[in-house]
């Protein structure tokens, strides 16, 4: 029973971070109608930024959020503005070709980071990296618990932004009907860039929060792009609430897979769920929750 | 106020409009009539800068609209209520209305515009928290016109407001457009319902296969033999 509860806790804590990654990709998916296959790589860049902040300036990873998130916001805006928006203007290309562009961007990000930092494994060891507290006999990693709290706060902020502000309404309007949004006087290209920036900043938050308990190497982006993809499909492509549910499901599935099947099968469990969702619940969790 | 001067418009290689020109004067209700596929909506899209004319000029109060981006056209006060209403279906009626006021000019008057629209269309106020996709066809058209009014239009362009509505609602929609126009909004309407729209308008022109074939006052056109034969079946 203890093992079960312990796994549950680990899964939920990790799921909170996955939800952030998924919400970011979903935001991009909703507005651009493409899967951003550079999502994990953007997150990886944010992790390196956090590493540099910590290693060279002694900045705590949680404070580094204030650097990594704005930095990735700008990177996302730049990528949209200078690489993806021009593609949309070429009439001979289908909009889906943006997906290929994101694959290329992911490779470039990975190789630039490898060039600067080499392929060595790096890690950020803080005083609380290995610390834990106990409730009953269940241990909670201090770092992951704090990360989970911050992830919840960021998610709440995202919802407030989407529901209550003009920017959020504009983002949802562009997602639902781009041409009608333009007729409202919304600058559609700017909204696209902003949505990409926000999505990248959310991935950055997840990366930075994960770093105290994770190791870091340039190719770490790939697995996280796959996870983000699985979460987005689980959530039903474009549903933010669904993506948060998808993040939790994937976090739990990986935790239970690691505990009861074996550490090596962590990623496999996620992919099996992905296949099962495609086969049996192609509309994702959205179908169950209707939001 | 609005001058469209000799525009040619293409979709890819296919030409849709040939040398189309007309003028909307301040304060009037102007109607562009024509059959399905005559190019009426294309003309409005060209004014909104959603498509760029290959030739010709579109000027609003002396400024060239065809050089601007769509959102800049809205900022000038030229507001387009698109064909098929195009509400944001998953957002509430009120959110849709608020989205109508996204330009700086319109944002400043948002509260009072909202009160004005609710006064014109009390049914929208009753349904303000409902997703726009759940409204009936007539209510959706009210919401679409209301959303256009939220933009504080100096020229309101309404594309086929009667499309897909029951005949009994068509009359209601035309009286709504009439009422909006009586509030002092210069209005350009597009219709294939020739008889009813000619009856409410000040001036009109007839678009046929991408060319303007007739123009004049609504009454003149209603009594024109060509119009009577081709559109009114008389």
Domains of chain A, residue spans: 16-219
- B13 and B38 inside one domain: yes
Weakest-pLDDT range from A219-223, A284-288, B221-225: A284-288
CA proximity to B89, closest of B32, B47, B130, B34: B130
Residue A94 φ then ψ, to 5°:
-75, 150
The 8-class DSSP code of residue B92 comes to B
Mark yes or no for CB contact B70/A172 under 8 Å: no
What is the per-residue pLDDT across B88-102, written as a single tens digit (0 to 9) for each? 998 999 999 999 999
Question: Which of B125, B152, B179 is the last residue in one of the domains?
Answer: B152
Does pLDDT of A9 surpass 80? yes
Residue B214 is assigned to a structural domain of this protein = yes
| Core vs surface per residue A82-113: b (16+ CB within 10 A) or e | ebbbeebeeeeeeeeebbebbbebbeebbeeb
What pLDDT does residue A165 have? 93
What pLDDT does residue A269 have? 84
CA distance A242 to A165: 21
- B143 and B159 inside one domain: no
What pLDDT does residue A290 have? 42
Residue B82 is assigned to a structural domain of this protein = no
Q: Smallest Cβ distance to A185: which of B88, B95, B151?
A: B151
What pLDDT does residue A107 have? 96
- B97 and B139 inside one domain: yes
Question: Which chain A residue's Cα is nearest to B90?
Answer: A176
What is the per-residue pLDDT across A66-112, written as a single tens digit (0 to 9) for each? 999 999 999 999 999 999 888 888 777 777 788 899 999 999 999 99
- B160 and B220 inside one domain: yes
At residue B178 the predicted structure's pLDDT band, cuts being 50, 70 and 90, is: confident
CA distance B46 to A199: 34
Mark yes or no for CB contact B90/A183 under 8 Å: no
The 8-class DSSP code of residue B65 comes to G
Tokens 């959603």, located at residue: B50
Taking contacts as CB-CB distances below 8 angstroms, the residues of chain B near A172 are 88, 90-91
| Core vs surface per residue A150-161: b (16+ CB within 10 A) or e | bbeebbeebeee
Tokens 């409204």, located at residue: B135
Residue B128 φ then ψ, to 5°:
-60, -30
Sign of the torsion formed by the C-alpha atoms of A211, A213, A215 and A218 = negative
Task: Decide if A179 touches B, using CB distance below 8 A.
Answer: yes
Task: Decide if B90 touches A, using CB distance below 8 A.
Answer: yes
Please list the alpha-helical segments (H only) found in chain A: 2-32, 39-57, 61-79, 85-89, 97-117, 142-164, 166-176, 178-183, 188-210, 221-235, 240-260, 266-280, 286-289
CA distance B84 to A1: 58
Does pLDDT of B147 surpass 50? yes
Q: Report the number of distinct structural domains present in chain B.
A: 2
Residue B31 is assigned to a structural domain of this protein = yes
CA distance B201 to A86: 43
Residue B213 is assigned to a structural domain of this protein = yes
Does pLDDT of A287 surpass 60? no
- B69 and B180 inside one domain: yes
Does pLDDT of B160 surpass 70? yes
- B11 and B65 inside one domain: yes
- B62 and B173 inside one domain: yes
Taking contacts as CB-CB distances below 8 angstroms, the residues of chain A near B87 are 180
Residue B10 φ then ψ, to 5°:
-120, 145
Residue B147 is assigned to a structural domain of this protein = yes
Question: Which chain A residue's Cα is nearest to B80?
Answer: A183
Task: Decide if B89 touches A, using CB distance below 8 A.
Answer: yes
CA distance B56 to B1: 17
At residue B19 the predicted structure's pLDDT band, cuts being 50, 70 and 90, is: very high
What is the per-residue pLDDT across B26-66, written as a single tens digit (0 to 9) for each? 999 999 998 888 889 999 999 999 999 999 999 999 899 98
Does pLDDT of A137 surpass 70? yes
Taking contacts as CB-CB distances below 8 angstroms, the residues of chain B near A179 are 50, 82, 86
What pLDDT does residue A291 have? 39
Q: Which two tokens stand for residue A257?
A: 């897979």
Average pLDDT, chain B: 90
- B12 and B72 inside one domain: yes
What is the per-residue pLDDT across A201-247, written as a single tens digit (0 to 9) for each? 999 999 999 998 888 999 999 999 999 988 888 887 767 888 888 89
- B50 and B142 inside one domain: no
What is the span of the domain harbouring residue B92?
87-152
- B141 and B107 inside one domain: yes
Q: Which two tokens stand for residue B222?
A: 């209603």
CA proximity to A184, closest of B10, B179, B188, B146: B146
CA proximity to A174, closest of A288, A59, A74, A31: A31
At residue A286 the predicted structure's pLDDT band, cuts being 50, 70 and 90, is: low
CA angle (A92, A96, A102) in 5-degree steps? 110
- B1 and B44 inside one domain: yes
Residue B58 is assigned to a structural domain of this protein = yes
pLDDT > 70: percent of chain B: 100
Domain with B188 in it: what CATH number? 3.40.50.300
What pLDDT does residue B170 have? 85
Are B189 and B32 in contact by the 8 Å Cβ rule? The answer is yes
Beta-strand pair A215-216/B29-34: unpaired
- B9 and B41 inside one domain: yes
Question: Which chain B residue's Cα is nearest to A180?
Answer: B86
Q: Helix (H, G, I), strand (E, B), or coil: what is residue A6?
A: helix
CA distance A42 to B142: 44
Taking contacts as CB-CB distances below 8 angstroms, the residues of chain A near B89 are 176
Residue B182 is assigned to a structural domain of this protein = yes
B116 vs B12, more confident: B116
């Amino acid at each position: 029973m203890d093992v079960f509860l312990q796994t549950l806790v680990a899964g939920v804590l990790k799921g909170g971070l996955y939800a952030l990654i998924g919400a970011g990709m979903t935001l991009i998916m909703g507005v651009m109608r493409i899967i951003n296959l550079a999502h994990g790589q953007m997150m990886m860049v944010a992790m390196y930024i956090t590493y540099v902040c910590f290693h060279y300036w002694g900045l705590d990873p949680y404070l580094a959020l204030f650097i990594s998130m704005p930095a990735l916001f700008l990177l996302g805006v730049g990528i949209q503005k200078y690489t993806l928006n021009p593609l949309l203007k070429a009439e001979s290309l289908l909009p889906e070709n943006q997906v290929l562009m994101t694959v290329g961007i992911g490779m470039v990000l990975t190789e630039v980071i490898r060039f600067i930092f080499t392929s060595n494994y790096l890690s950020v060891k803080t005083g609380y990296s290995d610390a834990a507290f106990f409730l009953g006999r269940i241990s909670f990693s201090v770092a992951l618990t704090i990360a989970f709290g911050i992830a919840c706060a960021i998610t709440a902020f995202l919802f407030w932004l989407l529901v209550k502000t003009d920017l959020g309404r504009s983002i949802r309007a562009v997602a639902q009907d781009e041409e009608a949004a333009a007729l409202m006087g919304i600058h559609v290209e700017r909204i696209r860039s902003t949505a990409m920036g926000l999505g990248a900043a959310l991935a950055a938050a997840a990366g930075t929060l994960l770093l105290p308990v994770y190791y870091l190497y340039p190719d770490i982006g790939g697995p996280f792009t796959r996870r983000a993809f699985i979460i987005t499909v689980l959530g039903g492509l474009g549903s933010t609430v669904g993506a948060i549910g998808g993040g939790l499901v994937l976090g739990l599935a990986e935790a239970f897979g690691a505990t009861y099947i074996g550490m090596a099968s962590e990623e496999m469990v996620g992919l099996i769920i992905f296949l099962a969702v495609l086969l049996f619940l192609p509309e994702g969790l959205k179908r169950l929750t209707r939001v | 106020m609005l001058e469209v001067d000799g525009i040619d418009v293409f979709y890819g290689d296919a030409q849709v409009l040939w040398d189309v020109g007309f003028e909307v004067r301040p304060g009037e209700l102007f109607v562009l009539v024509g059959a399905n596929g005559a190019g009426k909506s294309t003309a409005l899209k060209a004014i909104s800068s959603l498509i760029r004319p290959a030739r010709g000029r579109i000027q609003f109060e002396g400024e060239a609209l065809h050089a601007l981006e769509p959102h800049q056209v809205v900022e000038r006060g030229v507001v387009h209520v698109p064909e098929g209403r195009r509400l944001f279906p998953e957002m509430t009626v009120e959110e849709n209305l608020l989205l109508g006021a996204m330009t700086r000019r319109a944002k400043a008057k948002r509260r009072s515009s909202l009160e004005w629209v609710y006064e014109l269309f009390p049914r929208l106020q009753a349904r303000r928290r409902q997703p726009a996709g759940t409204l009936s066809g007539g209510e959706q058209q009210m919401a679409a016109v209301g959303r256009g009014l939220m933009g504080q239009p100096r020229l309101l362009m309404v594309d086929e407001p009667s499309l897909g509505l029951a005949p009994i609602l068509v009359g209601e929609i035309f009286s709504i457009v009439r009422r909006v126009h009586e509030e002092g909004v210069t209005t350009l309407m597009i219709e294939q319902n020739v008889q009813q729209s000619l009856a409410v308008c000040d001036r009109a022109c007839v678009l046929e296969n991408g060319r303007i074939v007739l123009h004049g006052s609504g009454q003149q056109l209603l009594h024109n033999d060509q119009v009577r034969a081709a559109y009114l079946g008389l």
